[in-house]
Structure 1
Amino acid sequence: MDLLLMGYPRRSYVEGILLGRTTAKVIGMSPCDVLMIPENAEIGFSRILVGLDGSPHSMAAGQRALELALSYGGEVHGLTVLDVPVERSLRYGVLDEARHKNFTALQILARQGEKLGVPVITELREGSPDKHLVQYSQEHNMDLIVLGSYGRTGFNRLLLGSVVERVAALSSLPTLVVKRSYGNQEAAVN
């Protein structure tokens, strides 16, 4: 299979997080991409939001978003959200290093979009990734959110939840979770 589709009813945030564990397990164990579709949501590809953090998983999500936009005549919005804990941000250069790494990921996405002829809009924000992804999707009337997955299923991840789970719980948009690399993407940022 290339894609697993999962529909789910709209729930409160707390219900979504608590009941989303099955979804998290399916995503973690799935060998292919997972498209989560909330109740009453429409699937569109005109305005695609992709969350980038510079990891190979997020860069694969960026590539997939570009391919979808190219196929359906859409545009891609790349959003990076810096979530640096206060105790780390006080160290000299940590915040600047994080900005540089993530800005580079946005530049790679923009260059790939330019090569393909896909319009790409990029933005860098600071704060909680899940909240900013959902907020941006609402502010800019996105059709789809695309995120990369590390596929973790360990105890620590289950306690903390994942950005994917929290976005799915907060957003009324379909969310595509990319599980593998696509096409001939440029090297991911270290």
Structure 2
Amino acid sequence: MYNGDKIYKKILLCVDGSKFAERAAEHALFISSFSDAEVMFLSVVETNFSAGLPADESIYQINGLLKQEAEKNVEKVLKVGKNGFNDIKTTTKIDEGSPSEIILETIEKENIDLVIMGNSGKSGFDKLIIGSVADKVTKKATCSVLIAQ
């Protein structure tokens, strides 16, 4: 039963540059405006592609470009809110690794109450081989997860 406490104190908004992430940002902005929840923007640079490759300069350059793209994705989502996030406490985190693993680790480390993420729209062979990040997170998360379409 609801006792008057705020349901959401900290929301994790997963950002990947997709239109689904923009939609997720709209949900985060709406929910946080009513709950006064802090919103943490998380963008994960997928680095699994380089597993087993020799660590040379070209790999470092690719990782650098991917990090820059992740930063741009966060900025893009902030603009989607048309500066609506100005009155909301926000933090930004850009990390490297497996997106689902980083999201699940962040939920635990940051005491996240709600994860909001877009549906990546993967289907067919891609989903069979790598699986959907949204699927993995919803199955293993210790908090509520909202998937924006």
TM-score range, shorter chain: 0.7 to 0.9
TM-score in terms of structure 1 length: 0.63
1:105 has 2:58 as partner: no
- 1:171 shift after superposition: 1.2
The unaligned stretches of length 5 or more in structure 2 are 1-5
Identity fraction in percent: 23
Q: Is the 8 A contact 2:14 2:42 kept in 1?
A: yes
> 1:113 offset after TM fit, Å?
6.4
What is the match of residue 20 of structure 1? none
Stretches of 4+ moved more than 6 A in 1?
none
Alpha-carbon contact 1:130-1:163 (below 8 Å) kept = yes
1:157 CA displacement: 0.9
Q: Distance in 1 between matches of 2:88 and 2:80?
A: 8
Once the two structures are superposed, what CA deviation does each residue of 1:86-141 show, in whole Å capped at 9, x if it has no partner? 15x85363222211111012234456669321111101111111111111111111
Residue range with higher mean Cα deviation, 96-105 or 117-126 = 96-105
Which sections of structure 1, spanning at least 5 residues, go unmatched? 1-42, 180-190
1:71 to 26, 34, 37: 34
Which structure dedicates a bigger proportion of its chain to helix? 2
Report the count of equivalent residues: 137
| Structure 1 CA distance for aligned equivalents of residues 74 and 122 of structure 2 | 24
**Change in 2 beyond 3 A, CA 1:153/1:44:** farther
Aligned to 2:88: 118
Partner-residue secondary structure (3-state), 1:60: helix
Q: Which of 95, 99, 110 is residue 63 of structure 2 equivalent to?
A: 95
Secondary structure of the residue that 1:69 maps to in structure 2?
helix
Return the TM-score normalized by structure 2. 0.79
Cα-Cα RMSD: 2.5
Aligned to 2:137: 167
